[in-house]
């Protein structure tokens, strides 16, 4: 090897090896110091279907209105019947009626065609909000917006809502305008007025409407007769209802399950269970099988008449016929067995009910009342505590039922605890019950608990009567804690100055709190 080459080789071998990963190659020089940003993407065009879905999914009506307006701001976009119908539904449901009027004014400038269903939906919302004049105004908007006269369905909807709100004068005014609307009333229209007079107990006017129907070549139908029979039964005139039933059959108008149920219910309310059972039998012979509604009515009547075994038998027959009971049927049967002191049977029915029906607070209250009537107060309170875990929130009736029984039976400890639970959850006891509990606490010498209960009631706006104050003053005086009584009274009177007079009268006019 040549001397120069050996020298170079020795120099290289003495140098440490360096991995290329530790020293990556340098990037090529950048020709520009600033990288230009990417151009913004044009906003996506929102079509009608997307706009409708977006509006429907908004909980805030203002957000829904913003989406509606932004969609319109797009070039080449015009709202149609579906988008207007959707935004009106959202706004009316939220009772934003000023915004509804604004949308309607905007609709009047649109070239597109609108359909009657939009206005029927608006009438429904105005009915739910009990605004009868808006119902009528919406009805009269149908022709200008749709270009055609209102249908009989629209007329019957409007009239029915007015009658339901007891606005008979408005309904009559609308009827007088039928010639201008080129509408002829049909049986459905007349039935609305039959229902109105029946609800008011004016049977003469109801039958007068039936005569007007005939003069206008509108034959009464099964709904007409069912409405009249129901009103007669409500008035206790079951014999007249039967006569009308026979007249209906003689005119070859076949009764349906609703018509039969009117009579079944009427007989049950009169306590004539045998008559109700005969109607059920006649119903079967005529080829009309009883439905859930019919069975439930009969079972309720049997339970209220104390005929529980027959009710149980009818309940089994109902299930064997393929008609499965609903919550109404179960509630009627549970109420019956609990009234007769068969609470365990009611609890078993509740467990069975859970399989196919949702148990509501009414059923719980029925069973709670049954437990209390048997002095099973601990079980009743446990049920109160368990209700939220069953997906049912107790109402004020749930608490009041138990508290009333506890006070009546002198269960002061349990009553005091339940009162605190009630007040903590925002429920107020009956006025008389709270007074009774306070008096019991004071008479048993539980002044501290009585004062706390009194103070909590005052904080909730419940002012006990003077008898409670007299018991309070008498109790603290017996314990010779006048100073404590004065201090507590001063504190309480800061919250409720209205009770000063009651305190004075209860202690004989001596102003011990001054």
What is the structure's pLDDT at 312? 94
Structure tokens at 42: 């044009």
What is the structure's pLDDT at 445? 77
Local confidence band at 264 (pLDDT 50, 70, 90 cut-offs): very high
Report the distance separating Cα 134 and Cα 138, nearest Å. 6
What is the structure's pLDDT at 441? 83
What is the structure's pLDDT at 434? 82
Q: What is the mean pLDDT of the chain?
A: 84
**DSSP output for 18-42:** --TTTSPPPPPPPS-SSPPPPPPPP
Tell me the three-class secondary structure of 233-301, residue by residue: HHCCCHHHHHHHHHHHHHCCCCCCHHHHHHHHHHHHHCCCHHHHHHHHHHHHHCCCCCCHHHHHHHHHH
Report the distance separating Cα 370 and Cα 401, nearest Å. 10
Report the distance separating Cα 446 and Cα 458, nearest Å. 18
Q: Which of 429, 458, 493 is the last residue of a domain?
A: 429
Answer yes or no: do 403 and 459 share one domain: no
Answer yes or no: do 487 and 450 share one domain: yes
Are 101 and 68 contacting, i.e. CB atoms less than 8 angstroms apart? no
DSSP 497: G
Residue 454 domain-assigned?
yes
Report the distance separating Cα 78 and Cα 412, nearest Å. 70
Residue 514 domain-assigned?
yes
DSSP 387: G
Distances (CA, A) of 374 to 341, 342, 396, 405: 7, 10, 21, 10
* 387 backbone dihedrals φ, ψ, rounded to 5°: -55, -50
Helix axes 257-269, 273-285, angle to 10 degrees: 160
Q: Which helix (H) or strand (E) holds 478?
A: helix 466-478
Q: What average pLDDT score do residues 62-91 get?
A: 93
Q: Which helix (H) or strand (E) holds 382?
A: helix 377-386
Are 405 and 377 contacting, i.e. CB atoms less than 8 angstroms apart? yes
Q: Tell me the CATH number at 453.
A: 1.25.40
Non-local CB neighbours of 248 within 8 Å, separated by 6+ positions? 222, 225, 255, 259
Are 195 and 230 contacting, i.e. CB atoms less than 8 angstroms apart? no
Q: Which domain holds residue 410?
A: 376-429
Are 134 and 126 contacting, i.e. CB atoms less than 8 angstroms apart? yes
Are 256 and 267 contacting, i.e. CB atoms less than 8 angstroms apart? no
User: Is residue 514 scored above 60 in pLDDT?
Assistant: no
Q: What average pLDDT score do residues 334-350 get?
A: 94
Local confidence band at 80 (pLDDT 50, 70, 90 cut-offs): very high
Answer yes or no: do 508 and 457 share one domain: yes
User: Is residue 14 scored above 60 in pLDDT?
Assistant: no
What is the structure's pLDDT at 184? 85
Closest by CA position to 289, among listed 323, 319, 313, 262: 323
* % pLDDT > 70, the chain: 82
Residue 482 domain-assigned?
yes
User: Is residue 412 scored above 70 in pLDDT?
Assistant: yes
Residue 313 domain-assigned?
no
Answer yes or no: do 413 and 446 share one domain: no
Non-local CB neighbours of 240 within 8 Å, separated by 6+ positions? 232
Query: Lowest-confidence range among 207-211, 421-425, 491-495?
Result: 491-495
Q: What average pLDDT score do residues 330-336 get?
A: 95
Answer yes or no: do 416 and 439 share one domain: no
pTM of model > 0.85: no
Q: What average pLDDT score do residues 83-93 get?
A: 95
User: Is residue 68 scored above 90 in pLDDT?
Assistant: yes
Answer yes or no: do 471 and 501 share one domain: yes
| DSSP H helices in 18-141 | 48-56, 61-72, 81-93, 97-107, 116-128, 132-140
Q: What average pLDDT score do residues 123-140 get?
A: 96
Q: Is 341 helix (H, G, I), strand (E, B) or coil?
A: coil
Neighbours of 371 (CB within 10 A): 25
Are 224 and 210 contacting, i.e. CB atoms less than 8 angstroms apart? yes
Question: Which pLDDT tens digit goes with each residue over 351-374?
Answer: 999 988 889 999 999 999 999 999
What is the structure's pLDDT at 469? 66
Answer yes or no: do 466 and 511 share one domain: yes
Residue 437 domain-assigned?
yes
Residue 367 domain-assigned?
no
Q: Which helix (H) or strand (E) holds 408?
A: helix 396-408
Please tell me the total count of domains within the chain.
Answer: 2
Closest by CA position to 334, among listed 313, 322, 352: 352
Pick left, alpha or beta for residue 330 (phi over 0 → left; psi -120 to 50 → alpha; otherwise beta). alpha
Residue 396 domain-assigned?
yes
What is the structure's pLDDT at 497? 52
Residues in the chain: 514
Question: Which pLDDT tens digit goes with each residue over 144-167?
Answer: 999 999 999 999 999 999 999 989
Q: What average pLDDT score do residues 22-47 get?
A: 56
Local confidence band at 210 (pLDDT 50, 70, 90 cut-offs): very high
Q: Which of 429, 444, 459 is the last residue of a domain?
A: 429
Residue 5 domain-assigned?
no
Q: What average pLDDT score do residues 333-352 get?
A: 94
DSSP 148: S
Report the distance separating Cα 238 and Cα 236, nearest Å. 6
Report the distance separating Cα 392 and Cα 390, nearest Å. 6
User: Is residue 290 scored above 60 in pLDDT?
Assistant: yes
Closest by CA position to 205, among listed 174, 254, 236, 163: 163
Answer yes or no: do 462 and 400 share one domain: no
Answer yes or no: do 501 and 436 share one domain: yes
Answer yes or no: do 410 and 473 share one domain: no
Q: Which of 363, 394, 429 is the last residue of a domain?
A: 429
Answer yes or no: do 450 and 498 share one domain: yes
Answer yes or no: do 419 and 447 share one domain: no
Local confidence band at 466 (pLDDT 50, 70, 90 cut-offs): low
Neighbours of 477 (CB within 10 A): 13
Q: Is 23 exposed, middle or buried (0-12, 13-18, 19+ CB in 10 A)?
A: exposed
Residue predicted with more confidence, 79 or 484: 79
Residue predicted with more confidence, 318 or 497: 318
Non-local CB neighbours of 75 within 8 Å, separated by 6+ positions? none
Q: What is the CB-side half-sphere exposure of residue 223 using CA atoms within 13 A?
A: 11
**Burial 220-257, CB ≥16 within 10 A → b, else e:** beebbbbbbbbbbbbeebbebbbebbeebeeeebebeb
User: Is residue 246 scored above 90 in pLDDT?
Assistant: yes
């Amino acid at each position: 090897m040549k001397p120069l080459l050996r020298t170079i080789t020795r120099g290289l071998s003495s140098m440490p090896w360096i991995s290329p990963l530790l020293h990556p190659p340098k990037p090529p020089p950048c020709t520009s110091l600033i990288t230009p940003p990417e151009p913004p993407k044009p906003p996506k065009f929102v079509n009608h279907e997307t706009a409708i879905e977006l509006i429907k999914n908004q909980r805030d009506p203002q957000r829904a209105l913003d989406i509606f307006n932004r969609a319109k701001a797009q070039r080449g976009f015009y709202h149609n019947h579906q988008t207007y119908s959707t935004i009106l539904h959202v706004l009316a449901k939220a009772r934003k009626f000023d915004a509804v009027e604004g949308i309607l004014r905007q609709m009047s400038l649109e070239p597109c065609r609108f359909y009657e269903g939009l206005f029927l939906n608006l009438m429904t919302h105005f009915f739910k909000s009990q605004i009868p004049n808006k119902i009528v105004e919406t009805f009269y908007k149908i022709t200008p917006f749709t270009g055609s006269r209102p249908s009989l369905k629209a007329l019957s909807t409007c009239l029915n809502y007015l009658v339901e709100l007891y606005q008979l004068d408005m309904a009559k005014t609308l009827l007088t305008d039928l010639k201008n609307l080129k509408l002829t009333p049909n049986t459905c229209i007349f039935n609305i007025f039959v229902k109105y007079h029946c609800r008011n107990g004016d049977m003469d006017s109801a039958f007068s409407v039936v005569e007007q129907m005939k003069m206008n070549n509108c034959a009464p139908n099964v709904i007409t007769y069912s409405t009249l029979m129901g009103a007669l039964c409500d008035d206790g005139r079951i014999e007249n209802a039967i006569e009308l039933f026979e007249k209906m059959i003689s005119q070859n108008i076949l009764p349906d399950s609703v018509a039969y149920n009117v009579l079944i219910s009427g007989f049950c309310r009169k306590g004539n269970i045998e008559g109700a059972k005969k109607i059920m039998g006649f119903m079967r012979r005529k080829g009309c099988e009883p439905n859930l509604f019919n069975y439930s009515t009969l079972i309720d009547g049997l339970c209220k008449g104390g005929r529980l075994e027959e009710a149980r038998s009818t309940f089994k027959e109902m299930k064997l016929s393929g008609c499965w009971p609903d919550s109404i049927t179960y509630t009627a049967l549970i109420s019956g067995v609990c009234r007769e002191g068969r609470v365990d049977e009611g609890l078993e029915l509740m467990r069975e009910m859970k399989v196919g029906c949702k148990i509501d607070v009414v059923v719980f209250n029925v069973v709670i009342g049954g437990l209390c009537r048997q002095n099973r107060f601990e079980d009743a309170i446990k049920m109160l505590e368990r209700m939220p875990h069953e997906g049912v929130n107790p109402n004020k009736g749930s608490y009041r039922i138990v508290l009333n029984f506890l006070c009546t039976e002198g269960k002061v400890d349990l009553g005091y605890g339940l009162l605190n639970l009630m007040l903590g959850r925002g429920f107020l006891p009956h006025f008389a019950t709270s007074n009774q509990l306070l008096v019991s606490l004071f008479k048993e010498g539980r002044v501290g608990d009585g004062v706390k209960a009194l103070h909590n009631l005052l904080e909730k706006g419940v002012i006990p009567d003077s008898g409670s104050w007299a018991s309070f003053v008498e109790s603290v005086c017996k314990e010779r804690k006048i100073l404590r009584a004065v201090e507590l009274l001063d504190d309480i009177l800061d919250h409720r100055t209205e009770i000063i007079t009651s305190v004075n009268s209860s202690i004989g006019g001596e102003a011990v709190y001054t």
